[in-house]
Amino acid sequence: MAKEIQIRESAEAPVIHVAPSPHLSHTAQTTRTMMRDVLIALAPVTGMALYVFQAYALRQLAICVIGCLAAEWIFTGMRGRRATLWDFSAAVTGVILALSLPGTAPWYIGVIASFTAIGIGKVIFGGLGMNIFNPAMVGRAFVMIAFAGAMGAAGYQDASSAVDAISQATPMDAFKQGGAIAPLSALFWGNTNGSLGETSAIACLIGGLYLCIRRTASWEIPAGVIGAVVVLGGIANLLNPESQWTVLHHILGGALLFGAFFIATDPVTSPLTPKGKLIFGTGVGALIMLLRIFSGYPEGVMFAVLIMNSITPLINRWTIPRPLGGK
Amino acid sequence: MADQPTAAERFIQGILPENPVYRQLLGLCPTLAVTNGLKAAITMSAAVLFVLFCANVIVSLIRNLLKPHLRIVIFTLTIATFVTFADRFLAAYVYQMSKVLGPYIPLIIVNCLIICRCEVCASKQGVVTAGADAIGQSLGFCLALCSIAAVRELLGTGMLFDIRVLPVVWPDWVIMVLPPGAFLTFGLLLGLVNWYSDRRAAAAGGK
């Protein structure tokens, strides 16, 4: 133990990398720049959330970001490590978590979700880079099961709210319960009820494309997700031609685009190889459609991502690239 | 075979140093399944105490007759006899609790904690030591179950022993009374126990 700490401390001295070729080192891309890119990409989504949900969004964002930073500081301190608040990873977890919660959720839900996300989702596995599951989704799953009343479809709605969006049912739930079809333009621009960040398809697309162009997120994952949803949604439509909830509704509605671009693309919990990423994305998309159509929940992004996270090591093993001339 | 622990040592060891749940990781099926309330945890522990004590005493009495290749069968039959007693007794006198515990009382038959104690202690040592060992291990089991159940019941329902201790505004963490809550609580408490005993070992080593 003492020896390990010594090595860690001596790492402050110039580090000489011993590695096989090719000798390329991406010093330009650090955790910090990646996380900063994610925060920039989240800006349109956050902006839309603030515009649609106003004070609700502001309050939830503040709770979750402060909660995640505090949890990171406390838990890494407990492990005797230096807190890594300035690599922004905890802040990104906080923002994504807040954007995946309903604006109406009471304050303790955000706090508990943040501490679960960072504590049980990340630090307990050894910190950033070691976690198996997407921390924000671990936090959300915990409060989703713990506080089913406040986090279920009914919890999103508050008829007496001054904010327009919150006084309606979420489009996914309105469809699941009563078969009501939301207009595509509302789903596209985002003036509907839902989790804070998921409502506006255009904002998710802008932020997501920025991430893909900057190569902070790999395009294979969202492509796989959307591809699988198009195929399965198309089949569902062919089998049920009278249904008004078309493939486009499936893509623009719910948390699909937000999940595809911001949640599934977490570099720690998704596979390493391009082929693996495509398999991962396709799996997420297929599970989302499965959960949406057959489960009791109106939406399935969270569970789909968590299930695929758990088989990421397997996908990595399947898709080890074969070196030139190797067998 | 020379230096077997004495009765007092067996008793003390069962409670904390060789706690069946936190140290030996035995009997985890009831540990995870019946710890969503303190009442169920205590009933379970009492049933285990009865079965383990009787099985240990009987096995210790017949230890010179045991044939090595048949001993596990004999252990299981002895345990099954007393489990049937316990199960029927609970069903007759505390029917509601028997319903709550469901299959977990009959499952004591395959609880590896009891076979382990028969094998490790009762089949090798005298009746008094075997009895003391059974009581010590059962108390350790009870302690573990109650610590997990207290956390789960308090967070999950705001109550202890079905009596409300937290204010009514407390939002119930439903997940804690569901299976995931058992795994999370058990894992965190196990980590806490390991951390604590590491610290004590380090402190003892430092002197």
Is A125 within 8 Å of chain B by CB?
Answer: no
Q: Which two tokens stand for residue A71?
A: 């949890």
The H-assigned helical ranges of B62-177 are 71-93, 95-101, 112-117, 127-157, 174-177
pLDDT at A24: 60
pLDDT at A13: 53
DSSP state of B62: T
What confidence tens digit (pLDDT) does each residue in B27-67 have? 888 888 888 889 999 999 999 999 999 999 999 999 888 88
> Least CA distance to A124: which residue of chain B?
B188
Bridge partners (DSSP) of residue B62 are none
Q: Which of B173, B178, B196 should be substituted to probe chain A, the one whose Cβ sees the most A Cβ atoms within 10 Å? A: B173
Confidence bin at A7 (pLDDT 50/70/90): very low
- Give yes or no for residue B1 having a pLDDT over 60: no
Cα separation of the two ends of chain A: 40
| Residue B156 falls inside a structural domain | no
Between residues A22 and A185, the one the model is more confident about:
A185
Check CB contact under 8 Å for B174 and A148: yes
**At what angle are helices A89-100 and A135-146 packed, to 10 degrees?**
40
Residues of chain B with C-beta less than 8 angstroms from the C-beta of A121: none
pLDDT at A296: 78
Contacts of B38 (CB under 8 A, 6+ apart): B146, B149, B150, B153, B160, B161
pLDDT at B206: 63
Residues of chain B with C-beta less than 8 angstroms from the C-beta of A120: 184
Confidence bin at A16 (pLDDT 50/70/90): low
Average pLDDT over residues A174-187: 80
pLDDT at A71: 92
Check CB contact under 8 Å for B178 and A145: yes
Single-letter amino acid code for the residue at A63: I
Confidence bin at A17 (pLDDT 50/70/90): low
pLDDT at A242: 77
CA distance A310 to chain B (A): 16
Tell me the domains of chain A and their CATH numbers. 31-313 (1.10.3430)
Q: Which of A79, A125, A145, A151 should be substituted to probe chain B, the one whose Cβ sees the most B Cβ atoms within 10 Å? A: A145
Q: Which two tokens stand for residue A221?
A: 């994952």
Average pLDDT over residues B91-102: 89
What confidence tens digit (pLDDT) does each residue in A99-112 have? 999 888 889 999 99
Reported in sequence order, the residue ranges of chain A that DSSP labels E, i.e. its strands, are none
- Give yes or no for residue B133 having a pLDDT over 70: yes
Check CB contact under 8 Å for B175 and A146: yes
Confidence bin at A281 (pLDDT 50/70/90): very high
| Residue B155 falls inside a structural domain | no
What confidence tens digit (pLDDT) does each residue in A219-228 have? 999 999 999 9
Q: Cα–Cα distance between A217 and A195 in angstroms, integer?
A: 22
CA distance A192 to chain B (A): 28
| Residue B1 falls inside a structural domain | no
Mean pLDDT, rounded, of chain B: 88
Average pLDDT over residues A5-29: 56
| Residue B152 falls inside a structural domain | no
Q: Cα–Cα distance between B49 and B53 in angstroms, integer?
A: 6
Q: Is A98 within 8 Å of A107 (Cβ atoms)?
A: no
Integer-rounded Cα Rg, in Å, for chain B is: 18
Q: Cα–Cα distance between A252 and A266 in angstroms, integer?
A: 21
| Residue B182 falls inside a structural domain | no
Mean pLDDT, rounded, of chain A: 85
pLDDT at A10: 47
Q: Which of A57-66, A109-118, B151-160 has the lowest mean pLDDT?
A: B151-160
| Residue B173 falls inside a structural domain | no
| Residue B188 falls inside a structural domain | no
Confidence bin at B85 (pLDDT 50/70/90): very high
Average pLDDT over residues A28-32: 75
Q: Which two tokens stand for residue A9?
A: 């401390």
pLDDT at B29: 87
Between residues A13 and B10, the one the model is more confident about:
B10
3-state helix, strand, coil in chain B (%, to 5): 75, 0, 25
Q: How many domains does chain B have?
A: 1
Q: Cα–Cα distance between A249 and A140 in angstroms, integer?
A: 24
Confidence bin at A46 (pLDDT 50/70/90): very high
> Least CA distance to B155: which residue of chain A?
A146
- Give yes or no for residue A3 having a pLDDT over 60: no
Residues of chain A with C-beta less than 8 angstroms from the C-beta of B171: 106, 108, 147, 150
Range of the domain at B97: 7-146
| Residue B196 falls inside a structural domain | no
Contacts of A132 (CB under 8 A, 6+ apart): A125, A269, A309, A310, A312, A313
Q: Is A38 within 8 Å of A211 (Cβ atoms)?
A: yes
Check CB contact under 8 Å for B173 and A146: yes
What confidence tens digit (pLDDT) does each residue in A235-268 have? 988 888 777 788 888 888 888 999 999 999 988 8
Confidence bin at B183 (pLDDT 50/70/90): very high
Is A1 within 8 Å of chain B by CB?
Answer: no
Q: Cα–Cα distance between A318 and A312 in angstroms, integer?
A: 10
Confidence bin at A61 (pLDDT 50/70/90): very high
